[in-house]
Structure 1
Amino acid sequence: MLEIIQSGGWMMVPIIISSILALGITVERFWTLRAGQIAPRDLLARVWGWMKNNQLDSARIKELRASSPLGRVLAAGLINSRHGRQIMKESIEEVASHEIHEMERNLNALGTIAAVAPLMGLLGTVFGMIQVFSEIMTQGTGQANLLAGGISEALITTAAGLIIGIPALVSHRMLQRRVDEIVVFMEQEAIKLVDVLHGDREVADSSEAA
């Protein structure tokens, strides 16, 4: 394996660095973007319980804010609920925007690696082919084994770039899909909270829906 990497030339260095970054981002994001950790499905039901039992005080809101990103979104709405529906929605959207930004952290970098890694591999192959044709110009085509070996080495970078780029692209799409699903769920929960606190929905019905 080391010989293959060395034969790929200096373009293998950025490709290897890209592979390490892609792996690190993928593992970290899959671990962080766990739906149960970001948007627990029973969280809104707990808030309904606090409201019914008159337990929704500053301590509960502080606990809610510290529990999860969805908790911070709901807490922002609860804190501003007395200022009217529009202010409550704006405060939820402001906090939700920040939380979505955090969930999407490093996904652009992963997508960039998925797009650039094959191109770096192709660039390495182009450099390799230039060297091969330079050898043809100086030594002629009599040494077929040498030329075949040079072409094989030139193609190593393309293979390496594809090996990095394809999994990175798949991971990026999967992670982006996970973020989208979490965001939709958070929006639904926030809408339920707004509707209940401003009379458009009954708490009992919302609890059952949650």
Structure 2
Amino acid sequence: MPMLESLLVPYRQFDEFLDLGGWVVGWIVLCALVMWTLVLERSWFLLRIYPQLRNDCVREWREREERTSWTAQRIRTAMVSELRLAMESGLPIIRVMVPMSPLLGLLGTVVGMLQVFDAMTAARSADTRAMADGISHAMIATMAGLVVSLLGLFCAHLLGSRVKLETAKLNDLLDAAP
């Protein structure tokens, strides 16, 4: 039984965090889960799947007999664009989650402050315990939204830079093909 208790500690701490932050933190966590799922999927694609697609594209270009005509160059441009679009898939959703997280945190701040004002109105005085609960909701929601947003911003920039770099490399590979 002690082992089960120790395994449940992270779950209990997470559940306590959700309770302290209010219902908005649940939406921020959902936003973070969607964002991290996409970040991991895009990372997997760029590390494992894209190299094979790039190699297939380069092989197909090198197997072409004619590579200098206007038509051949348009085909080359289409090949590069197709792979770039495959690499960028999912990035727009990650970029939407970045500003959405702090906005949800702001919503949590407003909800928490409304709880403070409701507590003050109900008690007809400044009940510090009730006010502290509302302020706790407000600050935890704000913090959670900002943390998710900052991490998402970093990942979106990292993935976007990698897409630009890989697109430039692909252009070079197809130009240099003898």
Band of TM-score, shorter chain: 0.7 to 0.9
Q: Please list the CA deviations of residues 43-88 of structure 1 after superposition, one character each: whole Å capped at 9, or x if unmatched.
A: xxxxxxxxxxxxxxxxxxxxxxxxx222343345345543752111
Question: Normalised by the size of structure 2, how large is the TM-score?
Answer: 0.82
AA aligned to 2:98 is A
AA aligned to 1:16 is V
1:38 counterpart = 2:22? no
Q: Judge conservation of contact 1:81–1:87 (CA < 8 Å) in 2.
A: no
Where does residue 112 of structure 1 map in the other structure? 96
AA aligned to 2:147 is I
Where does residue 87 of structure 2 map in the other structure? 103
Where does residue 200 of structure 1 map in the other structure? none
Q: Judge conservation of contact 1:74–1:92 (CA < 8 Å) in 2.
A: no
Q: Judge conservation of contact 1:73–1:92 (CA < 8 Å) in 2.
A: no
Larger Rg: 1
Q: Please list the CA deviations of residues 139-196 of structure 1 after superposition, one character each: whole Å capped at 9, or x if unmatched.
A: 2333123212321122211111112111111011001111111110100111122xx4
AA aligned to 1:135 is A
Q: Alignment partner for residue 19 of structure 1, among 8, 20, 32?
A: 32
AA aligned to 1:21 is V
Where does residue 22 of structure 2 map in the other structure? 9
Question: Normalised by the size of structure 1, how large is the TM-score?
Answer: 0.71
Where does residue 169 of structure 2 map in the other structure? 185
Q: Distance in 2 between matches of 1:38 and 1:11?
A: 37
Q: CA RMSD in A?
A: 2.0
- The number of residue pairs the alignment matches comes to 165
Amino-acid identity (%): 24
Q: Distance in 1 between matches of 2:67 and 2:36?
A: 46
More helix by share: 2
2:22 is paired with a residue of what secondary structure?
Answer: coil
AA aligned to 1:101 is L
Q: Judge conservation of contact 2:101–2:148 (CA < 8 Å) in 1.
A: yes
Where does residue 119 of structure 2 map in the other structure? 135
1:92 is paired with a residue of what secondary structure?
Answer: helix
